[in-house]
Amino acid sequence: MFRCVGKLAVVTGASSGIGAAIVQNLAKQGVNVVGIARRESKVKELAERLLNEKGKVYPYKADITDESEVVQAFQWIETNLKQPVKILVNNAGLSILRDTKEGNTDEWKKMFDLNVIAAGTCVRETLKSLKNHNTDDGHIVNICSIVGHRTLADFPGFYVYSATKHAQKVISEGLRQELIRAKSKTRVSSLSPGYVQSELFASAPEDNMQTLAESPHLKPEDIADAVSFIINAPEHVRVHELTIQSAEELF
């Protein structure tokens, strides 16, 4: 049974891969979705394909590493849709695989800006949206990663990316505790997939790409199904943390 019919969701990184699969899954359930991405044209194409689904998809172009653009996006939602954001799926992410000893701080900053800071900004604006509508029964789902739980010796170059995902996981748990202490009904979930076939690692070095290509992997639709499971859990159930991996994945 779908509990979220008619609610409004925001999905970041909605133009392809996991994000697009989540948008499609939610729309089929009857959830209205604002799909945020830098490549708005991709989200528009997705919205057109989903025109006959129960939920409506609203494409919105934004670079969420720019705080002002996140604020503007939520202002647009308030002005045009006049609904609280009941579901946030922080999916946008960046992985630049390079040995830590090379010390490329610009790349480190880009990953932390998107994977950690931008996700936090979206959380803040979602909580503001709920408060503005005098409700607090939202759900925040942060797409983390199995590499946020442990480093992978067989995949050099992952370590700073792993650090960003560990940070996101820790912040998710801290936020969950904050909201429980405040007697809020808003739930916070951390979803950590293993290797998923997507664009995330498209810039990986050739030897890493070969290893990834030969590795067991999940499909974006598997992650979308996991998000659906999380947000449709009974009201008395909170899925704090969920890991999902290919049945054949070793790490």
161 tagged catalytic: yes
Q: Which of 58, 60, 161, 195 is catalytic?
A: 161
The secondary structure of 11-59 as a DSSP string is EESTTSHHHHHHHHHHHHHT-EEEEEES-HHHHHHHHHHTTTSSS-EEE
Neighbours of 212 (CB within 10 A): 15
Q: b/e for 74-98, b at 16 or more Cβ within 10 A?
A: beebbeeeeebbbbbbbbbbbbbbb
Residue 217 φ/ψ, nearest 5 degrees? -145, 160
Residues annotated as catalytic (active site), given as ranges = 161
